[in-house]
Each structure stands twice: as structure tokens, then as C-alpha cells.
């Protein structure tokens, strides 16, 4: 080895850190979760959209990961399992702190006449038209409106939408992350997209005063 070579400490295998954590080694647990703290915090922030709530939820999530570590069976990556725990904690905190709005997602979904024909087709126009209209709206106003829309989604739909459309995961990854089927991912994502489109429609069509 060259005398000038820089020595880098070897990283303890994750499996060993898990084993030591299960034995109550706090230092090992800290090393186990440290590489993923940014990932965990980002996922929680996407759900809660509040820095203080994110910090609270992250602390609760880390405690949950520590106390539930014996349930980790190694069928998925530790980061995937831990991320799922974080999302669950974020959703639970959101349920307890955010008052549910009277408007539900169903109010914004397409409606059908008794004969089966779609009512209000404007709500289902091509997404490219919405994108063009959004370009004429101030960015900050759009963000605020989108956030209002996200707050009206159910927790299940919001989680799928965040992971699929905001985090950029594919359907299979989202299904694994949330522990649901791919078909259910597609169903929830479809309803979330339709709901957001309906919520944004009056804002996009009417423009700003």
C-alpha cells in the first residue's frame, strides 16, 4: 500500500448493526439509521409539509423503528422498511393534527348520469391543457393551491401520490413501500390525480383576480 494513501474506516455491515441494535446497543442503532435520516425526513416532510411536525414525526418514527426492529425480517431493504415506518408515523400525526375538511375527494371526482354518460367533461380535459394554463399563474399561488388539494386527499391517496408522482418511484416500489398490491397503488393514484385535477380546475380556468 502506498504510504500516501488515505485510510478510510471500514463500514460495519448493516446486518451486524441490526443484530447489535436488537441487543440494545444504542450506538449501533445510531450508525444503522444515520445514512437514511435525510431520506426518512424527506418522506415525512412530503406528507406533513411542516418543518416542526416533520421533526416531531421523525423522532417518533426513529423510536418506532427501534422498538419494532425485531419485526424486520430482511425480506426488503432496511431503508425500505424504515421508510414505511416513517410514512406511517407521518400519516398518524397528520390525522391527529389536521382537521378534516368538509369537502371530500368524492366531491371533485367525475360524476355520471343515470344512463352512464359522463357529466362535466371539462374536468377530464387533457393534462397538457392544464399545464399550459398553469404557466400563466404565479408559481407561489400554484404551490399554495396544490397544497390545499393535497390536504383534501385521503391519507392513503396522498401517500401514493407523494411516492409515485413527487418522489418518482415506480408502481412496484410504491407497492413494496406501502405493503399493498400494485393494483391498489394504481387505483389510489388514479383517484388522487382526478381529485387534484378537480380541485385545481376552478383556479386554473378562472385565473387570478
Residue 94 · residue 155 · CB < 8 Å: yes
Domain with CATH 1.10.1740.10 in the chain: 14-97
The pTM for the full model equals: 0.58
| Exposure string for 75-96, b = 16+ CB within 10 A, e = fewer | eeebeebbbbbbbbbbbebbee
CATH number of 105-206: 1.10.10.10
pLDDT of residue 8: 43
Residue 111 · residue 101 · CB < 8 Å: no
Element (H, E) at 22: helix 14-22
pLDDT of residue 53: 87
Domain with CATH 1.10.10.10 in the chain: 105-206
Distance of CA 190 to the CA centre of its chain: 15
Out of 3.40.50.300, 1.10.3720.10, 1.10.1740.10, 1.10.10.10, the CATH code matching 14-97 is 1.10.1740.10
DSSP class of residue 74 equals S
The 3-state secondary structure of 121-185, one letter per residue: HHHHCCHHHHHHHHCCCCHHHHHHHHHHHHHHCCHHHHHHHHHHHHCCCCHHHHHHHHCCCHHHH
Reading the block at residue 127, the C-alpha cell is: 393534462
| Residue whose entry in the numeric block shows the C-alpha cell 348520469 | 113
Q: What 3-state DSSP class applies to 99?
A: coil
Q: How many helices (H) and strands (E) does the chain have?
A: 10, 2
Residues of the chain scoring pLDDT < 70: 1-12, 97-143, 145-146, 199-209
Q: For residue 141, give every residue at least 6 positions away whose Cβ sits within 8 Å of its Cβ, in sequence order, or none.
A: 208
pLDDT of residue 159: 86
Burial (CB < 10 A; 0-12, 13-18, 19+), residue 174, is: buried
Amino acid at each position: 500500500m502506498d504510504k500516501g494513501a488515505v485510510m478510510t474506516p471500514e463500514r460495519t455491515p448493516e446486518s451486524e448493526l441490526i443484530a447489535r441494535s436488537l441487543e440494545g446497543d444504542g450506538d449501533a442503532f445510531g450508525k444503522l439509521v444515520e445514512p437514511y435520516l435525510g431520506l426518512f425526513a424527506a418522506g415525512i416532510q412530503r406528507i406533513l409539509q411542516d418543518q416542526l411536525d416533520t421533526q416531531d414525526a421523525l423522532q417518533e418514527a426513529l423510536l418506532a423503528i427501534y422498538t419494532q426492529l425485531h419485526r424486520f425480517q430482511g425480506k426488503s431493504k432496511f431503508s425500505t422498511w424504515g421508510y414505511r415506518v416513517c410514512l406511517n408515523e407521518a400519516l398518524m400525526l397528520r390525522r391527529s393534527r389536521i382537521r378534516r375538511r368538509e369537502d371530500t375527494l368524492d366531491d371533485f371526482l367525475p360524476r355520471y348520469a343515470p344512463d352512464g354518460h359522463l357529466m362535466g367533461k371539462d374536468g377530464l380535459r387533457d393534462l397538457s391543457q392544464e399545464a399550459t394554463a398553469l404557466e400563466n399563474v404565479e408559481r407561489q399561488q400554484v404551490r399554495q393551491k396544490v397544497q390545499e388539494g393535497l390536504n383534501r386527499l385521503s391519507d392513503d391517496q396522498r401517500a401514493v401520490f407523494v411516492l409515485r408522482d413527487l418522489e418518482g418511484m415506480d408502481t412496484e416500489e410504491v407497492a413494496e413501500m406501502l405493503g399493498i398490491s400494485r393494483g391498489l397503488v394504481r387505483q389510489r393514484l388514479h383517484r388522487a390525480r382526478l381529485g387534484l385535477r378537480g380541485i385545481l380546475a376552478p383556479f386554473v380556468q378562472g385565473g387570478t383576480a
